[in-house]
Amino acid sequence: MNYNFQFNVVWRNFDALLEGAWLTFQLGVFAFTAGLFVGLICAALKTYGPWPVRLLVNVYVVFITNTPALIQIYFLYFGLPDLGIRWSNEACVLIGLTLNAGAYLTMILRAGFLSVRTAEMEAGETLGMSLIQRIRYIVVPHIAKSIYPALANFFIVILVMGTSVGALIGVDELTGQAINLSSVNYRWLEYFTVTAGLYVVLTFVASLGLALVGRWAFRVRARIF
């Protein structure tokens, strides 16, 4: 063990890593937010929809949650062009991650739909609220509060594990950028040490942000670690 650490190379290219981290953050936030919409709609359909719709949602959820995210993104990036559908690598990562997050979030949010008290929903109904209004004013705040920690955890999963899949189809997010840079001068150990540190900072910042949002908007006392 007489490896000679040289972090100078890494600091010289630190800007590029930061750019990668910023892209990772953007991808994570976008995929999570879009996935939240998909998940909310699917969970509502699964709870209140007619049976063919519920079946369709089940097929989507089972299909996505039982296949690796990498395969889904490869399918979009390498598979679809054969059908004449060509999307950029970033678009494929965004769409793939959104569909992926949407399926997992359907399952997470479904628990929230099921745990709303019937009496609250009936009270809403007799006060003249439509189903959509009840979802908006009763179910969503209930979910936000009761399963906020599960949602926040899932955001971290998407942010760290989800987005890094992009590296494999040439998206220069944090992992991709680290691979690019270290393959130029073979300082793998140094680059990946710093990259790991950046991921930790990223999740810490994200957790802190989520905890503050939770506390402020939903009266949730979330633990950060």
Partner 1 sequence: MPHLAVSDVFAKYGKLEVLHGISFDVERGEVVSLVGPSGSGKSTVLRTLVGLTPVTGGHVDVDGTSIDYHSARAIKAARDRMAIVFQQFNLFQNMTVLRNVTLAPTKIKGRPKAEVEAEAIELLSLVGLADKRDAYPDELSGGQQQRVAIARALALKPEILLLDEVTSALDPELVNEVLDTVRRLAGEGMTMLLVSHEMSFVREVSNKVIFMDKGRVVESGPPGQIFDAPTSDRARDFFGKILRG
Which residues would be at the binding site for partner 1 (CB under 8 A)? 117, 119-120, 122-129, 133, 137-138, 141-142, 144-145, 218-219
Closest CB 122 distance from partner 1, rounded Å: 6
Cβ atoms of 8 and 71 within 8 Å: the answer is no
Query: Nearer to partner 1 by C-beta: 85 or 119?
Result: 119
Structure tokens belonging to residue 98: 């959104």
Structure tokens belonging to residue 27: 């991808």
Query: Nearer to partner 1 by C-beta: 123 or 212?
Result: 123
Query: Nearer to partner 1 by C-beta: 127 or 200?
Result: 127
Residue 143's Cβ-side half-sphere holds a number of Cα atoms within 13 Å equal to 24
Closest CB 130 distance from partner 1, rounded Å: 8
Task: Give the residue carrying structure tokens 């998206």.
Answer: 171
Closest CB 210 distance from partner 1, rounded Å: 18
Count of beta carbons in the 10 Å neighbourhood of residue 223: 8
Query: Nearer to partner 1 by C-beta: 62 or 217?
Result: 217
Structure tokens belonging to residue 208: 């802190």
Closest CB 111 distance from partner 1, rounded Å: 16
DSSP string spanning 41-66? HHHHHHHHS-HHHHHHHHHHHHHHHT
